[in-house]
């Protein structure tokens, strides 16, 4: 153990204030409707598209992304095979990733995407375009409810809310900074 560890812990212990209670966090309820989710996602640059069932994905994708050639997905026979060992050069050329999302959050348009659903941890950001497929019954109102449903966060996982964006140049909003240039949530 390093001496800095001991030093920091000793100082934290010596200098900490008298103990105060840890509050319990209420559920707060809220609007968990598909309408709310759709409206908020739209306001942050994403988009909701309905599919009749997960089996109907492919034709809808062809319609949405007619130009996408290199597609990676665990949901159907895709054109690029990706797994945790896929080299960076292959990942860098993916046009479209279609991944299953787990939980949608109506108040902010975020979708929980655990590592197990990503094929490779970098895929959701390295791909040019991202589609998340979500069961509309898995939409909750707030982040509190989303975390309450998570057993843990696994090795890695992210709430993804819309496409990558930046406003670092004079506060002008630009969609497509480093991550995916567009985000569509396919609801079924």
Partner 1 sequence: MSHSARAATFVADAERTTWHDETLWFVRQKRDKAVYAVPEFQQLRELASQIKDHTLSRLDEYLQQFEAAARRNGVHVHWAADAQEHNALVLDLIRRHGATRIVKSKSMLTEECHLNPHLIGHGIEVIDTDLGERIIQLREEAPSHLVLPAIHLKKEDVGDTFHRHLGTEKGNHDPQQLTEAARQHLRAKFLAAEVAISGVNFAVAETGGVVICTNEGNADLGVNLAKVHIASMGIEKLIPRLTDLGVFTRLLARSATGQPVTTYTSHYTQPAEGREMHIVIVDNGRTQQLGRPDFRASLKCIRCGACMNTCPVYRRSGGHSYDFTVPGPIGAILSPNIDLKKHSSLPFASTLCGSCTDVCPVKIDIHTQLYKWRQVLAEAGEIPTAKKWSMKFMGRFLASPKAFGLGGKMARTGLRLLPYQLTHATAFNAWAVARELPEPPQQSFRDWYRETVR
Report 22-51 residues binding partner 1 (CB under 8 A): 22-23, 25-26, 28, 40, 43-44
Stretch that binds partner 1, among 3-11, 56-64, 95-103, 131-139 (CB under 8 A): 3-11
- For residue 1, give both structure tokens: 């153990």
Of the candidates 109, 148, 159, 158, the one whose C-alpha atom is nearest the C-alpha of residue 25 is 148
Choosing from 82, 180, 184, 185, the residue that interacts with partner 1 (CB under 8 A) is 180
Which residue lies nearer to partner 1 by CB, 81 or 148?
148
Stretch that binds partner 1, among 4-12, 48-56, 57-65, 67-75 (CB under 8 A): 4-12
Q: Is 154 in the site for partner 1 (CB under 8 A)?
A: yes
Choosing from 32, 179, 182, 186, the residue that interacts with partner 1 (CB under 8 A) is 179
Which residue lies nearer to partner 1 by CB, 3 or 53?
3
CB neighbour list of residue 113: distance below 8 Å, 6 or more residues apart: 99, 101, 102, 124, 132, 157, 158, 159, 160
- In angstroms, what is the minimal distance from the CB of 92 to partner 1? 6
- Which residues within the stretch 100-119 sit at the binding site for partner 1 (CB under 8 A)? 105, 107-110
Q: Is 144 in the site for partner 1 (CB under 8 A)?
A: yes
CA 40, 42, 45, 51 torsion-angle sign: positive
Specify the long-range contacts of residues 167-174, CB closer than 8 Å, at least 24 apart. Answer: 173/45
- In angstroms, what is the minimal distance from the CB of 106 to partner 1? 10
- In angstroms, what is the minimal distance from the CB of 21 to partner 1? 6
Q: Is 169 in the site for partner 1 (CB under 8 A)?
A: yes
- Integer CA distances (angstroms), 28 to 81, 124, 144, in order: 42, 31, 8
């Amino acid at each position: 153990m390093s001496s800095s560890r001991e030093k920091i812990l000793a100082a934290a212990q010596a200098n900490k204030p008298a103990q105060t209670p840890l509050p319990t966090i209420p559920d707060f309820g809220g609007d968990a409707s598909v309408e709310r989710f759709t409206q908020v996602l739209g306001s942050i640059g994403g988009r909701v598209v309905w599919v009749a069932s997960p089996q109907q994905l492919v034709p809808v994708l062809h319609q949405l992304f007619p130009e996408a050639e290199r597609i990676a997905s665990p949901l159907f026979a895709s054109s690029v095979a990706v797994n945790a060992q896929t080299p960076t050069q292959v990942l860098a050329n993916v046009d479209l990733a279609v991944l299953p999302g787990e939980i949608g959050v109506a108040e902010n348009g975020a979708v929980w995407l655990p590592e197990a659903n990503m094929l490779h941890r970098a895929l959701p950001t390295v791909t040019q375009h991202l589609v998340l497929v979500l069961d509309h019954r898995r939409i909750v109102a707030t982040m509190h409810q989303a975390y309450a449903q998570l057993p843990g966060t696994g090795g890695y996982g992210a709430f993804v809310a819309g496409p990558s964006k930046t406003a670092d140049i004079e506060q002008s909003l630009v969609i497509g900074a480093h991550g995916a240039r567009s985000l569509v949530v396919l609801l079924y």
